[in-house]
Structure 1
């Protein structure tokens, strides 16, 4: 049985100013199930999938970093100039390697929280991102939950960055999350965008 986690009220969260937060968008994978490089797949508005995701998070975070593979062409992927690029040389080994590379790049950042997102989630509501930011601190891990299902982004306080930087292969941030139940803050949202992503071309169709 899953233990019940702290779900702070809006008044409790708003009592202090949000901690400086960087968005870390993981986009080193091409998406094999998609059949082609889904990062450059066009959406209905003409934007590519990755570009649309980056545009959404740029409006809400102090810094935005995108993790791509060492051989990727950031310009061809539509990465805006204001977005910082991290190259994960071991990206082929799994998401854990990409996440570790991204966290390592934040070492000199003034931010105290890293919001880990996937590069194929352009439907996240800006209001959801703002609520999660408000709940984040350097000592907590913040996770959104919609209709009983948890999703992304997961916001990791700086206290957990050393563990994230040690991840390898297919190990994801869930390993760190499960190791620190008392630090977890689950925020209930009415936003299916927290778990809606793109695995096949059909997923790009409208709601």
Structure 2
């Protein structure tokens, strides 16, 4: 059953300069456009899904379904932190969720078990994040009690500073899912699943 207490917030407003073109529309073998494939992995697990896009983006062109909320980050060029802050500001008004799962739009390989495990530990006063072989991954689930701190972000660091300041509230869960650390930076990353037998 999709979670009714955790909302998913997908950061997809970046320009992907390293990729060479709009990677959100890049074709993922057997799964279609990258952003749409990532959103498809979230649907079974979250009753509420939001996507942060840039001011010039067309949600229809990006393959974002009408039942998925979109949030325009006017200051997305300032970095991931600014996009995240814009998303959280909207969620504080529009959502009743106790926690938000912050996800990147180029991570379509997470397993169903990972989503279920992370959501089972979420609460309004916890930060829950997956760890794969010592490396922190996504999504990171922030309880509503930390949304105020997320709203203050302005740079490209994202939410790392919030996690560092609240280590005592952080629940780190070891997972056997390399998908939590695998995103798409270069065109050859699109073929990651085949190379790793996924």
TM-score bucket of the superposed structures, by smaller chain:
over 0.9
Which has the greater radius of gyration? Answer: 1
Are 2:65 and 1:80 aligned?
Answer: yes
* Partner residue in 1 for 2:86: 101
Which secondary structure state, in structure 2, belongs to the residue aligned with residue 139 of structure 1?
A: coil
Counterpart in the other structure of 2:121: 135
2:55 aligned partner = 70
Q: CA RMSD in A?
A: 1.1
Number of aligned residue pairs? 190
Please list every run of at least 4 consecutive aligned residues from structure 1 whose deviation after the TM superposition is greater than 4 angstroms: none
Residue in 1 aligned with 2:16?
31
Separation of aligned partners in 1, 2:17 and 2:157:
19
**TM-score, normalising length: structure 2:** 0.93
Take 1:151 and 1:97, find their aligned partners in 2: how far apart are those partners? 20
How far the C-alpha of 1:40 sits from its partner, in A, is: 0.2
Match of 2:151 in 1: 165
> Deviations 1:105-162 (Å, cap 9, x if unpaired)?
1113110101000000000111101100001110000010111211000000000000
Name the counterpart of 1:152. Answer: 138
Structure 1 residues not aligned, in runs of 5+: 1-17
Q: Output the TM-score relative to the length of structure 1.
A: 0.89
Matched, 1:22 2:7: yes
Report if the CA contact (8 A) 2:9-2:102 is conserved.
yes
Provide structure 2 residue ranges, at least 5 long, that are not aligned to the other structure.
none
